[in-house]
Amino acid sequence: MKKPLVLFLALGLSLALTACEKDGPMEEAGEKVDRAVEKTKDALNPKGPAEKAGEKIDAAAEEIKEDAQQAKENIEDRMK
């Protein structure tokens, strides 16, 4: 719900700022708002640092699982 609102606000602000012809205090303020919107969008992005770390943990867990399965099979082969 928040993500579409943030994107809508960013689009509206971008359109409003492109209408300005002169650079000045309003242009600078608009750029600050744009940066704030980008930071907010990045915070809402599910592929942030925590998500990337989670994917690495999942990959490591999968590798450990596969290694354990291989070790189990090796032990079973030796017991035959």
Q: What pLDDT does 57 receive?
A: 93
* CA–CA dist 4, 13 (Å, integer): 14
pTM of the prediction?
0.40
| 19-76 per-position pLDDT tens digit | 555 667 777 788 888 888 877 776 676 666 777 788 889 999 999 999 999 999 999 8
**What does the pLDDT average to over 75-79?**
89
What distance in Å separates the CA atoms of residue 54 and residue 49, rounded to the nearest whole number?
9
Predicted local distance difference test score (pLDDT) of residue 16: 65
Domain ranges of the chain: 1-45, 47-80
Q: What is the mean pLDDT of residues 2-6?
A: 69
What is the structure's pLDDT at 37? 81
